[in-house]
Structure 1
Amino acid sequence: MNMLAVFWGTLRDILPIVAIIFGFQYLVIRKPVKRFLKVAIGFFMVWVGLSVFLIGLEQALFPMGELMASQLTHPDFLPAMTEGAQRHWSDYYWVYIFAFTIGASTTIAEPSLIAVSIKAGEISGGTINPFTLRLAVALGMA
């Protein structure tokens, strides 16, 4: 994996967002950015953080997921079969359980869902529990 390519790719991906934010600030709102240095450092941290996150995904999580998928679908792991019988979709129940748990847990941990659920809890005056909302969305998505 070319780390430099990941950093450049991430920069290319976030530059339009930065351009829109600064464009609106200067061209529509027509005011300078308050605490410009702090904002610039924040964008730099987002760039580096996303790049390192993507590198981590490529080097650790994706290979681990591929390994687990091959292990979960390997004939030695699946229930024993009689000679000449065909596999049924239910023979792969561990794959479905794994996919469900990964889908639900990543949805629960999704930062934008966390932010929205907290805001929903605030707006509702506490009627909506943020974690319950996240759990409901996660179960629906998974």
Structure 2
Amino acid sequence: MSSAINHYCYQMTKNDNDFFRQLGAKIASLRKEQQITQVQLAEILGISQQHMASFEKGIRKVPSSMLPTLAEVLAISVEELIGITPTHGKKRGPAPKLLKQVEQISQLPKSKQKFVMEMLETVIQQTAH
């Protein structure tokens, strides 16, 4: 009896199939937009590349516990990721690559941080003119 219950719990309804196919396609599209490979995203999530591929194809359900991490990495809100259109004009945040670089800069010694900041300011000023 319990195997029948377990089997039932893991079967997807037609609505589930549609939802997870759309979610998978959205994840794949955003991942490519952010220039992140399936392998890189899988590593961030602590899963195999094959598991990630099955999410993107809609074959497997994406666990709800992974949605916040996925949204953060893909620079999108959880609501937008699952297809809920926000009612307010919220902009996307910086790209994950930029966030990673800022984090790396913050780990540098203060003198090197200052050097990087001065270089950025110079480039920004030159671009503004």
Q: What is the TM-score when the length of structure 1 is the normalising length? A: 0.29
Determine which structure has more spread, i.e. the larger CA radius of gyration. Answer: 1
Relative CO higher for 1 or 2, CA cutoff 8 Å, sep ≥ 6? 2
Q: What is the TM-score when the length of structure 2 is the normalising length? A: 0.31
